[in-house]
Amino acid sequence: MTDQQQLDLRKDEVEAGTTTGLASPSVDVTSARQNSLWSDAWGSLKRNPLFWLGSLLFVFFALMAVVPQLFARGVDPRACDLAFAKDTPSSGHWFGYDPQGCDYLSNVVYGARSSLIIGIFAVVVILVLGVLVGAIAGFYGGVVDGVLSRLADIFYALPLILGALVLLRVGPSTDIPILNTRGPGAVALALALFGWMTAMRLVRSQVIAVKSSDYVAAARAMGASNRRILLRHILPNAVAPVLVYTTITIGVLIAAEATLTYLGVGLQRPAISWGLQIEAGQDSIRSAPHLVLFPSIILTLTVMAFVMLGDALRDALDPRQRA
Amino acid sequence: MGRYIARRLLLTIPVLLGASFLIFAMVYALPGDPIRALGGDRPISPAVAAVLTERFHLNDPLYLQYWEYLKSLLHGDLGTDFRGRPVLDTIERTLPITVKLTIAAVLFETVIGIAAGVLAGIRRNSFFDNLVLISTTLIVSIPILVLAFLAQLTFGLKLGWFPIAGTRDGIYSYLLPGLVLASGSLAYVARLTRTSVAENMSADYVRTARAKGLPRRDVIVRHTLRNSLIPVVTFIGADIGGLLGGAIITETVFNLPGIGREVFDSVRSQEGAVVVGIVTLMVFFFIFFNLVVDVLYAVLDPRIRYD
């Protein structure tokens, strides 16, 4: 907006009676500064090495999930020769061989896809459940809030791994769709079912905090419906904390998937998964430690990518922590 | 205060009932026919099967089974597994091991976590502060499963400092698994302490203490720490319940026969009564320690009033 335009606008506003022109703002509020939270956040992210390291790792593993052939040096993970079983790493085969004599590098690389798919699918279900239940509980309050909050407390009292463990053990014998498949969908669903409570509490408290603000009262006074207030005014304010939570949670869920698979209730052979690789390698931890080590390192780096990104986002989005 | 505790106690009842019913409902649908599994290769006669079905209420609808379960629970009877051993005996055998493991973990997270957090917090942006920040990010990112194997490999096999499995070496056997179990909470305690101490270091009452000429040591120990540690103490308290229920991986990898491994084995072998009994106990611990913390908070911080 040029100076001339701004003068014209002020004249128009004075004539229309929306302002007296006496105490007009000294800064041009119509410029890009309006989105100050997000532009400030980007400014802070740019200077955070944690953000760049996390992004780099994330892009690396996302690529690995999409085009594993590139990272496997062209070796088929299922082309095996028992003669090489458990051979240690060499210049031709960087990660050595697994107990079936398959190239370990390509097996570990191909494991990225199922981990990322499960992590992201589970977090999407968690977000849908958490935002829906949290928004309803926070907005309507009273009995509705009481019941939904107690429900969250009940699920919260059960440890994530334990709940998912029992559900996945039972799943195949039930006739609940997805859950009886023993596939990635079942694992993601079980994780989401025992992991939605924190998202719900986050959204609920944000909604309660925003509900009593002046601009919501103004919107209501102008006749906005409950639905409109919820969707246009309240939920956008909950985006920042939910975004931070989501990022870190993907990492937590990927670790939980590997754990459940290691315990024998997650993905099943012949699926290629880090949990299965760690499980198969643990018996030869003395003679061939590389079997446990390599999938562990790659799993940790993947989780780390999301934890770092989440930490960086929190530092950027929470103005109270900004120095 | 008394009314507050009473109200909180009442509120925990539906949560405890709900959580135990949730696990009961899931276990009720456990796959397979437990009576046939009990017989193994020898078929069980219909008469015996009928008696067992009757004794374990296997044909009743779910809510009736749960009601029966609750009734006997109130009489201190957690039922028996399919071999006839009381679940209470199983818990008595396995719980002490998990309690020892939890004590080791809580000691680690308290001593190391608070020390690291205080040292980082009183000198913000120093080398040590950055070290704590980086190492906690690292520790939080390592899944407990991976950490357990890494600890076994390095401290157990390579360096030979600690035993890596079983409970044969007394207290010594709990050190490594305790450290692994504590790791996540330890990192969180360090960060929480750091933030809290750093905040209080610039508070007015600390400036006053310094201005009246108190030695730096006294300012930190007597003034800053007392206030900074309130959130830390409450976190550790609430964490005890979580640790008691979170030991499945640690106990499985380190081969410790505690309630975590017992519940995992029971889920695999479809011992429904054991699963429900132990999980209900875990939920009880979780709720109990959270309640204790809420009350403790009011005692530690007189600014907080519950009315």
Cβ contact, residue pair A162, B282, below 8 Å: yes
Residue A173, chain B, CB below 8 Å: the answer is yes
ipTM of the complex: 0.84
Nearest CA in chain A to B265: A263
Residues 6+ apart with CB under 8 A from A34: none
Instruction: Provide the angle, in degrees to the nearest 10, between the axes of the packed helices B175-201 and B225-245.
Output: 150
How far apart, in whole angstroms, are the C-alpha atoms of residue B42 and residue B36?
9
The pLDDT of residue A323: 38
**What average pLDDT does chain A have?**
83
Q: What is the 3-state secondary structure (H, E, C) of chain B?
A: CHHHHHHHHHHHHHHHHHHHHHHHHHHHCCCCCHHHHHHCCCCCCHHHHHHHHHHCCCCCCHHHHHHHHHHHHHCCCCCECCCCCEHHHHHHHHHHHHHHHHHHHHHHHHHHHHHHHHHHHHCCCCHHHHHHHHHHHHHHHCCHHHHHHHHHHHHHHHCCCCCCCCCCCHHHHHHHHHHHHHHHHHHHHHHHHHHHHHHHHCCHHHHHHHHCCCCHHHHHHHHHHHHHHHHHHHHHHHHHHHHHHCCHHHHHHCCCCCHHHHHHHHHHCCCHHHHHHHHHHHHHHHHHHHHHHHHHHHHHCCCCCCC
Strands (E), chain A: none
- The segments of chain B whose pLDDT lies below 50 read none
Tell me which DSSP letter residue A264 carries.
Answer: T
Question: Is the full-model pTM beyond 0.90?
Answer: no
Q: Is the alpha carbon torsion for A51, A55, A56, A61 positive or negative?
A: positive
Q: Name the least confident of A97-101, A110-114, A157-161, A244-248.
A: A97-101
User: Which residues in chain A (304-323) have CB-CB distances under 8 A to chain B?
Assistant: 304, 307-308, 311
Tell me, what DSSP letter sits at residue A174?
A: S
pLDDT tens by residue, A268-290: 888 889 989 888 888 888 888 88
How does pLDDT run across B170-201, given as a tens digit for each residue?
A: 778 888 999 999 998 999 999 999 988 888 88
Spatial CB neighbours of B165, under 8 Å, sequence gap ≥ 6: B254, B255
More confident call, B61 vs A142:
A142
Residue A26 is predicted with a pLDDT of: 45
Specify the pLDDT at position A295: 92
Task: Report CB contact under 8 Å: B137, A50.
Answer: yes
SS3 A134: helix
Extract the tokens encoding A271: 């699926």
Site from A150, A170, A318 to mutate, B interface, most B CB atoms within 10 angstroms: A170
Q: Which of A169, A278, A302 best tests the B interface by mutation, with the highest count of B CBs <10 A? A: A169
| Selected residue of B133, B145, B157 to mutate for chain A interface (largest A Cβ count, 10 A) | B145
Summarize the confidence of residues A29-57 as an average pLDDT. Answer: 76
CA dist B144 and B253 (Å) reads 10
Chain B residues close to A165, C-beta within 8 Å:
248, 264, 267
Cβ A236 vs Cβ A205: under 8 Å: no
Residues of chain A contacting B19 with CB distance shorter than 8 Å: 154-155, 157-158
Q: Give the pLDDT confidence score for residue A16 in this predicted structure.
A: 56
Residue A53 forms contact with B (CB below 8 Å): no
Per-residue pLDDT tens over the stretch A170-179: 877 777 788 8
- B218: amino acid identity, one letter: D
Site of tokens 């990272």: A71
Interface with chain B: mutation pick from A53, A201, A296, A313, highest number of B CBs within 10 Å: A296
Determine whether the interchain pair B283/A157 forms a contact, defined as Cβ–Cβ distance below 8 Å: yes
| C-alpha closest to that of B34 among B18, B57, B66, B17 | B57
- Band (A237; pLDDT cuts 50, 70, 90): confident
Is A218 within 8 Å of chain B by CB? no
Please choose, from the candidates B31, B10, B20, B30, the residue with its C-alpha nearest in 3D space to the C-alpha of residue B69: B20
Query: Which is more confident, A108 or A9?
Result: A108
pLDDT the model gives residue A256? 93
Chain B interface includes A190 (CB < 8 A): no
The pLDDT assigned to B179 comes to: 92
Cα separation, B132 vs B195, in Å, equals 12
Interchain contact, B23 vs A262, CB within 8 Å: no
Contact A170 B19 (CB under 8 A): no
CB < 8 Å from B in window 87-146 of A: none
Do the chains contact at B26 and A153, CB–CB below 8 Å?
no
Cα distance between residue B110 and residue B246, in whole Å? 18
Residue with tokens 């498949």: A181
Mean pLDDT value across residues A193-205: 90
List CB contacts (< 8 A) between A175 and chain B: none
- The DSSP symbol for A230 reads I
Residues 6+ apart with CB under 8 A from B52: B35, B38, B44, B58, B82
Instruction: Tell me what pLDDT residue A53 has.
Output: 92
Q: Which residue of A has its CA nearest to B26?
A: A167
| Residue contact B14–A150, C-beta within 8 A | yes
| Contact residues on chain B for A163, CB-CB shorter than 8 A | 23
Residue of A nearest to B275 (CA): A166
The structure tokens listed for A109 are: 């690389």
Torsion of CA B293, B298, B304, B305, to 10 degrees: 120
Cβ contact A165–B248 (<8 Å) = yes
Sign for the CA dihedral angle at A97, A98, A102, A106 comes to: negative
Phi/psi class of residue B296: alpha, beta or left (left: φ > 0; alpha: ψ in -120 to 50)? Answer: alpha
Total beta-carbon pairs less than 8 A apart between chain A and chain B: 118
Q: Are A257 and A191 in contact (CB under 8 A)?
A: yes
pLDDT at residue A238, rounded to an integer: 76
For residue A190, the model assigns a pLDDT of 93
